[in-house]
Chains A and B, each alone.
Chain A
Amino acid sequence: MNKEVTHCLLCERELQQVITWQTLFERSWPPVICERCEAKFERTHYTTEELTTIFYYNDAMKNFLRQYKFSQDIILAKVFRQELNKLLRNRSETIVPIPMNPLKKKERTFAHIDELLHAAEIPYEHLLEKTTTETQVGKSKLQRQQVAPLFSCTKELAAKHYILIDDIVTTGTTIAHAKKALLDAGAESVTAIVLIKG
């Protein structure tokens, strides 16, 4: 499926074909970025009961996000599919991506969180919608927490346990609001896995 990626998606150098042993229980894809680019991403090893993050927001990650979201280079969703797959594949909770504003999604032509999960072959369900189009930029942490709820549930909840997925966490307000919306709708537990710790 991935044979067409012969050059690093980030720096265009030719990819060395590495032969890896694929075990019976682990999904493994051939790499889409070179070792040199991969080494530039810095892992956080950050896991609490509530939140797991995978990478720090360093220069390499900043460039990645700019190219993925701003330049709309959707194929970059494949860069972190191995990590996301590994973390999520055996989870029994329902996976819920943080939703995008529908107008913003149309403008960007894709929902970046959904595409990350899609590339990692992780099934997910949209259960939230944004209640306001106001952005958080320019507001203090206190202001953000005081504003009206950012999300509401779109459906009656069928499951009890949930994992929220987002691309980047800074103050944690987005995750907190999403979590509250799910808990208010009857969820028993809500944790979060976020690609980048800002």
Chain B
Amino acid sequence: MQRRTKKAHYLGLLLHPSAIHSMIGRIMRREDLPYTSKLINLYIERGLLKTQPAISTIQGLLKTHFRCERCLNTQSEKFIHFHCAKCEQVCTYCRHCITMGRIASCTQLLTWAGPSPQHPKKHQFSWTSTLTELQQHASLELAASIQQKRQHLLHAVCGAGKTEILFQPIYNALQKGFRICVATPRTDVVLELAPRLQKVFPTTMIHVLYGGAPEQQSYAQLVIATTHQLYRFAKAFDVMIVDEADAFPYTFDESLQKAVYKAKKPDAPITFVTATPSSKLLKQRDGYSFLPRRYHNHPLPVPRFQSLWRYKRQFKKDKLPKQLRQWVEQRIEAKQPFLIFFPTIEMLEQALPLFSPNILGVHAEDPTRKEKILKLRNAEIQGLLTTTILERGITIANLQVAVVGAENPIFTASALIQIAGRVGRDEQYPTGDIIFFHHGISLEMDLAKQEIQRLNEVANE
């Protein structure tokens, strides 16, 4: 009798299925769950929630090493030790993933360990355009790799239409009830991809995750996220697609690469997509598709070099270098939208007042970035000054591009190829100007130009 009442009591406490759905594949802080401590403990006792400490310590020979179990960071300078008023001892927190809510030694991390739901296999695929022969071929190759759980590298030049290539393989995976993640290092790319995928899969629940994105409840079978957001997942995905796989900071931040592997199921295949694969990516590929030609069959615009001697000193003296001024005047005259890339925020801020008020500046810390890009697209402004933050993901018809200080080490060959790839993407305007203003030609500038010319030759074969 007593047993029965106890059981009835427990049943009254059970979580709603949709609450469970939103926990699947997630790594959660205990304090973020909107349930009572009693209820959480019950789920832990029953083995439905697994607990783990947030910061683990590894005793080394000379010192203690730390690892954050959410972002897998191990850099010692990212761990801060303090006297904690909660656990009343020396406690350690991770600064590397602090924007997702701080986790410290006394934080409990929870993952769902109970059964997973059956995913819907019925999805609407609303896509009517056709692929070019090259795209079609690559799409089939990629679908086959995913089917065979093989790693795949999709190497497609800027403007080859790589996103369209992903549609059919994603649809195949959705129909099998797989959970799919499209991850990219760049928030701008997430924002560009999300509406396109939602349009193609109108009935599929899609979550779009990036820093500052609104909280999304329930369970999404398709997740589009920055690689940063993958810190929040563990063993969640059956298919992992990493778009712009060579972009900053993914290649520089080892914890982001680990996060990709942690977020997927151990046997889930990864697809890397990029226009400028690193030699490492080219080596570790298993399946490989190569698209040297743009979808509209026009060649890639080849950059031209223009000296802009002592431009730094001129900006400092509040002077707009003559050749740059002329270039901008020509764009305005021809009513062509344009981007001018700068190597640093400081130089961008120095140069911005020298331009007309109808030209704005954007950089990584700019909260109004989205709106400014939209203004350029809608021809409400003439041009944008930008840091390398816009080297990828942005597509604007008839866009003309200049790089100021192209010899700066921040402009690697792949960054310059990506920047040049912003030009001539639209079928209506397949050409356009891409100019590298410099104070001396760098090796990377030469490499970028050679590679673009090589790709154009390969495409013609």
- Among B77, B99, B104, B346, point to the contact of A109 (Cβ < 8 A): B104
Which A residues contact B (CB, under 8 angstroms)? 4-7, 11, 36, 71-75, 105-111, 115
Q: A11-B365, A74-B80 are in contact. Are A109 and B85 (CB under 8 A)?
A: yes
When distances are taken between beta carbons in the complex, the residues of chain A under 8 Å from B77 are 4-7
Contact A108 B80 (CB under 8 A): no
Q: Is B379 part of the contact surface with A, judged by Cβ < 8 Å?
A: no
Contact A72 B93 (CB under 8 A): yes
Contact B85 A71 (CB under 8 A): no
Give the interface size class of chain B.
20 to 34
When distances are taken between beta carbons in the complex, the residues of chain B under 8 Å from A11 are 365
Contact A71 B99 (CB under 8 A): yes
Q: Is B38 part of the contact surface with A, judged by Cβ < 8 Å?
A: no
Q: With A and B bound together, what is the CA distance between A4 and B102 in angstroms?
A: 20
Q: Is B84 part of the contact surface with A, judged by Cβ < 8 Å?
A: yes
Q: With A and B bound together, what is the CA distance between A110 and B102 in angstroms?
A: 13
Contacts A/B (CB < 8 Å), 27 sampled: A4-B77, A11-B365, A36-B345, A36-B346, A71-B98, A71-B102, A72-B93, A73-B80, A73-B98, A73-B102, A74-B80, A75-B80, A75-B95, A106-B85, A106-B86, A107-B86, A108-B85, A109-B82, A109-B84, A109-B85, A109-B86, A109-B104, A109-B106, A110-B82, A110-B83, A110-B85, A115-B82
Q: Is B20 part of the contact surface with A, judged by Cβ < 8 Å?
A: no
Q: How many A-B residue pairs have CB under 8 A?
A: 41
Q: Is B91 part of the contact surface with A, judged by Cβ < 8 Å?
A: yes
B99 to chain A, nearest CB (A): 7
When distances are taken between beta carbons in the complex, the residues of chain B under 8 Å from A106 are 85-86
Closest chain B residue, CB of each to CB of A11: B365
Contact A73 B95 (CB under 8 A): yes
Contacts of B279-316 to chain A: CB distance below 8 A: none
- Among B82, B345, B365, point to the contact of A74 (Cβ < 8 A): B82
Given contacts A71-B98, A108-B85, A110-B84, 12 further A-B contacts (CB under 8 A): A4-B76, A4-B77, A6-B77, A36-B346, A73-B95, A74-B80, A74-B82, A106-B86, A109-B82, A109-B84, A109-B104, A115-B82
Most buried by B among A71, A74, A106, A107: A74
Q: Mark B72-111, 1 if CB is under 8 A from A, else 0.
A: 0000110010111110000101010011011010100000
Q: With A and B bound together, what is the CA distance between A72 and B82 in angstroms?
A: 11
Q: With A and B bound together, what is the CA distance between A36 and B101 in angstroms?
A: 26
Q: With A and B bound together, what is the CA distance between A36 and B347 in angstroms?
A: 12
B253 to chain A, nearest CB (A): 11
Q: With A and B bound together, what is the CA distance between A40 and B139 in angstroms?
A: 50
A18 to chain B, nearest CB (A): 17
Contacts of B124-179 to chain A: CB distance below 8 A: none
Closest chain B residue, CB of each to CB of A75: B80
Q: With A and B bound together, what is the CA distance between A71 and B103 in angstroms?
A: 10
When distances are taken between beta carbons in the complex, the residues of chain B under 8 Å from A75 are 80, 95
When distances are taken between beta carbons in the complex, the residues of chain B under 8 Å from A5 are 77
Contacts of B315-357 to chain A: CB distance below 8 A: 345-346
When distances are taken between beta carbons in the complex, the residues of chain B under 8 Å from A108 are 85
When distances are taken between beta carbons in the complex, the residues of chain B under 8 Å from A72 are 93, 102
- Among A4, A36, A105, point to the contact of B85 (Cβ < 8 A): A105
Q: With A and B bound together, what is the CA distance between A72 and B95 in angstroms?
A: 10
A108 to chain B, nearest CB (A): 7
Closest chain A residue, CB of each to CB of B87: A109
Closest chain A residue, CB of each to CB of B103: A72
